[in-house]
Structure 1
């Protein structure tokens, strides 16, 4: 009986040690991944941004700080801010019959007529507006 209890205690101790080692491994692997991700971000930034946009290069810690700042501002690097919404089986995230809406619920399909409107009425209205502003400026300076 004594051997059985000793064996059981030994097995439990081994289980807990294995779990602790696993947790420590995942923490170290996570930190290593974040450090590597920051290095890759710094490398890509320093390769692309100065050449394309004329921005300065980043140090490693600036790149890591920028990643942390983006995490704070945007919430996550994955869709939905890291929170997965559960959908019923067979239900899509967005029903097919809904239209994409922009800011304040604008329907962007009406923008296809913008160029024609600007050619017909926009230029005339803008020229009239500029002329009114010039007249106001001339009257105020007289």
Structure 2
């Protein structure tokens, strides 16, 4: 066997091992997800039968009724998408705001805003309001 054949075999073995491991992880996650869903049905049934008959006078539920109620609630109220996850719109807006306020991007200028407003802002705003009022008055006198 040549060295290039050995290298190629090891590379293929590595890829196969990687994909087999990944397949087992996916299979394990699917099995655990299914077990979790069925366990949630049991927990929901236990909590319902413990609380609801005594508090509200409702009847007890069977396992499949509680599982159906959970499924119905998920359909009505959504499947719990996390809106603050890495790909969400909320996250993207938050990143934009963070980048805007980042001192490295010049966002640190906002730290001087309060000081500016105290020193020059009130005067500048008063001047702006006077100019707008004059423009409105000039516009109304020209129309007459």
Common fold, TM-score beyond 0.5? yes
Scaled by the length of structure 1, the TM-score of the pair is 0.57
RMSD: 2.2
How many residues matched?
Answer: 90
TM-aligned CA deviation for residue 2 of structure 1: 0.9
Write the distance in 2 (CA, Å) between the matches of 1:31 and 1:42.
17
Closer/same/farther in 2, CA of residues 41 and 25 from structure 1, 3 Å limit: same
| Consecutive aligned runs of 4 or more in structure 1 exceeding 4 Å deviation | 77-80
Write the distance in 2 (CA, Å) between the matches of 1:79 and 1:8.
39
TM-aligned CA deviation for residue 46 of structure 1: 0.3
Structure with the higher fraction of residues in helix conformation = 2
Query: Which runs of 5 or more residues in structure 1 are unaligned?
Result: 92-142
Query: Which runs of 5 or more residues in structure 2 are unaligned?
Result: 99-144
TM-aligned CA deviation for residue 78 of structure 1: 6.3
Write the distance in 2 (CA, Å) between the matches of 1:37 and 1:88.
33
Write the distance in 2 (CA, Å) between the matches of 1:63 and 1:7.
52
* Greater Rg over alpha carbons, structure: 2
Scaled by the length of structure 2, the TM-score of the pair is 0.56
Write the distance in 1 (CA, Å) between the matches of 2:8 and 2:46.
57
